[in-house]
Amino acid sequence: MEYFLKKGIIFFIFILGVLSFYETPSVYADKAVIQVDHLNVRNGPGTDYDRIGKVHTGETYTILEEKDNWLKIKRSGKDGWVAKWLTKVKAEQATSGSYSSKYDYLRIRSAPNLDGKIEGYLMKGDVVEPKKKDGKWVYVQKGNTKGWVHGDYLTKDNRETHEPPKEKEADEDQSSTVKGTVKVGTAVLNVRSDNSTRGRILTTIRKGETYEYIAKKDRWYQIKYSSGKTGWVAGWLVNETDNNQTNTPTSKNTYVSLSYNGTNLRSGPSTNYKIVGRGNKGDRFEIISKEGQWYKISYNSKTAYVAGWIVEEVNHESVSTAPKTSNSLKGKTIMIDAGHGGRDPGAVGRSGSYEKTLTLDTAFILKSQLESNGAKVLMTRTNDEYISLSIRSFHSNRSNADAFISLHYNAAPVNVIASGLNSYYYSSKDKALADSLQASIVAHTGLRDRGTKKGNFHVIRENNKPSVLLELGFLSDAREEQTVKTRSYQTKASQGITEGLIHYFN
């Protein structure tokens, strides 16, 4: 009897072990991308379990377990379960091979998140070999600096060695084969000796002019600009065209010049049509056709309409002979103030983005834009450090800055729905600057126009320079947060600020 009892106990333990094996949850390296807003997170795999939080469209989480068509996801607070059919599962791929940085000043952090301390930077084109991966973050080493960078800002490097084949590049540079044409999309654009913002400035070209290009590298075009001379222009400041125009606009081209600030550009030839953008006094757009009293114009690589009674029609000669200094910032000094920093994160977005990070990212892009248009740029901070408001205004007051621009991103309480752009001024003498910037940023980004307002903010209240504080979008709005986080949006906003300053000074 004792023998059978022992065998029974052993068999029971074996069965428990087998059951435990099958109950062990599978561990996934895959990601769940949320497809709806306000998706409930529960403490178990089913609608009968209690809700412990919510997640939102576009947010991505590591999958810890799957059961009965439910996914257990890893969250910064408490892990929980979401309905699999309301997500999109994305397989996690291993990182191998060499990658290069897409941008200058890509931050290397001590941890795979925005809280990680900045250990150093990658410059555009720097090649690294990721050692390991955590979500979208990859671990890299540059010289003696080791840390994490976000994978979205790296691109696969297909070169066999880290050094470019110089003879081949030299042959390409000398090639005269025309591959297409590009049209300048910003007021004044620098032509450089190399495909980098560190390249020497060879000359400047103007908005609306069209040039043949003979090579494309990264996001830069090598153009032919004068008597066979070639140089590089930033691809994000030009628009590729599909015609074979010559390297300057033809004399038959005609333009409209706007007569007033804040001119509405519409989707059709009537005030009943939707506003698709705004322009300011002196802005010029190429005419496509005329419909009644309205002009159909080329606008941001698309088309728009403007009322004929608030514009002046000009031909190419009057455009090309305008003084070059009228549309540049040469001789102007601009101070950029990236809001918050260090122990002060500012607003925190729905997906966890920090205002202090976005303002600094935007500040560097804006710096490049302003310098490309001839301005000298000063910055209140160039890294993730805390600087008091009084120090910011102090630096501005003792500088020779012609304008002070404070960059911010907005947030509203959880129960308030808000989106769009604001420009704030304190002194009435600065309202014109705020109006010019607001109209130009809205036109470039397409975000909701919340207008210009008087704001009692320290950095503009205690400032004796022309000064404004810009709120460039709401991080508390899930969709708008995803938009303003992108480099594309920040580039458009920076272009708007740059052209707004040009209009203000001229």
The domain boundary, picked from 302, 322, 342, lies at 322
Beta bridge partners of 468: 405
Do 404 and 479 fall into the same domain? yes
Q: What is the 3-state secondary structure (H, E, C) of 17-78?
A: HHHHHHHCCCCCCCEEEECCCCEEEECCCCCCCCEEEEECCCCEEEEEEEECCEEEECCCCC
User: pLDDT digits over 201-248, tens only?
Assistant: 787 787 778 888 888 887 788 888 766 688 888 877 777 775 443 333
**Averaged over 275-281, what is the pLDDT?**
81
138-143, Cβ contacts within 8 angstroms, sequence gap of 24 or more: 138/95, 138/99, 139/112, 140/99, 140/108, 142/108
Higher pLDDT, 103 or 48: 48
Number of domains in the chain: 5
Q: Name the percent of the chain lying above pLDDT 70.
A: 81
The domain boundary, picked from 241, 264, 292, lies at 241
Higher pLDDT, 131 or 354: 354
pLDDT of residue 156: 74
Told to judge if 119 belongs to the known catalytic residues of this protein, a careful annotator would answer: no
Higher pLDDT, 396 or 103: 396
Do 266 and 292 fall into the same domain? yes
pLDDT of residue 357: 94
Higher pLDDT, 406 or 152: 406
**Averaged over 251-271, what is the pLDDT?**
74
d(CA 261, CA 311): 11
pLDDT of residue 163: 38
Do 105 and 72 fall into the same domain? no
User: pLDDT digits over 293-306, tens only?
Assistant: 678 888 877 888 88
Nearest to 36 by CA among 104, 71, 88: 88
23 pLDDT more than 60: no
User: pLDDT digits over 437-474, tens only?
Assistant: 999 898 888 889 899 999 999 999 999 999 999 999 99
Nearest to 375 by CA among 421, 330, 423, 442: 330
Q: Name the percent of the chain lying above pLDDT 90.
A: 28
- Phi, psi torsion values for 238, nearest 5 degrees: -130, 165
| Confidence bin at 12 (pLDDT 50/70/90) | low
Do 289 and 369 fall into the same domain? no
pLDDT of residue 438: 93
Kindly list the strands in the beta sheet with 254-258, ordered across the sheet, starting from the edge strand earlier in the chain: 275-279, 263-266, 302-307, 294-299, 284-291, 254-258, 311-315
Question: Residue 218 maps to which CATH number?
Answer: 2.30.30.40
Do 120 and 60 fall into the same domain? no
pLDDT of residue 170: 36
Is there a contact between 501 and 329 (Cβ–Cβ < 8 Å)?
yes
Instruction: Tell me how far CA of residue 313 lies from CA of 187, 293, 303, 321, in angstroms.
Output: 19, 12, 17, 15
Residue 265 lies in a domain: yes
User: pLDDT digits over 318-376, tens only?
Assistant: 444 333 334 579 899 999 999 999 999 999 998 889 999 999 999 999 999 899 888 99
Residue 21 lies in a domain: no
Do 59 and 151 fall into the same domain? no
Do 174 and 280 fall into the same domain? no
Higher pLDDT, 89 or 252: 89
Do 484 and 358 fall into the same domain? yes
pLDDT of residue 5: 54
pLDDT of residue 458: 95
Of 209, 212, 471, 481, which is the active-site residue? 471
Do 311 and 372 fall into the same domain? no
Question: Residue 468 maps to which CATH number?
Answer: 3.40.630.40
d(CA 58, CA 71): 16
pLDDT of residue 46: 87
Higher pLDDT, 286 or 166: 286
Is there a contact between 486 and 361 (Cβ–Cβ < 8 Å)?
no
d(CA 150, CA 136): 6
Residue 223 lies in a domain: yes
| Confidence bin at 91 (pLDDT 50/70/90) | low
What is the DSSP code string of 77-117?
S--EEEEGGGEEEEPPPPP-S-EEESSTTEEEESSSSTTSP
Least confident of 129-143, 230-244, 492-506: 230-244
> DSSP code of 430?
G
192 pLDDT more than 80: yes
pLDDT of residue 135: 72
Least confident of 175-179, 399-403, 453-457, 495-499: 175-179
Per the prediction, the chain carries an average pLDDT of 79
pLDDT of residue 358: 95
pLDDT of residue 362: 96
Range of the domain at 59: 26-90
* Dihedral sign, Cα of residue 118, residue 124, residue 130, residue 136: positive
Nearest to 357 by CA among 222, 487, 164, 178: 487
Q: In which residue are the tokens 């106990």 written?
A: 9
The domain boundary, picked from 90, 108, 139, lies at 90
pLDDT of residue 164: 38
Do 468 and 390 fall into the same domain? yes
Do 352 and 493 fall into the same domain? yes
| Confidence bin at 393 (pLDDT 50/70/90) | very high
Do 181 and 40 fall into the same domain? no
274 pLDDT more than 60: yes
316 pLDDT more than 90: no
**Averaged over 32-46, what is the pLDDT?**
86
pLDDT of residue 356: 95
Residue 15 lies in a domain: no
d(CA 202, CA 230): 9
What is the β-pairing status of strands 467-474 and 403-410? parallel
pLDDT of residue 121: 77
| Confidence bin at 410 (pLDDT 50/70/90) | very high
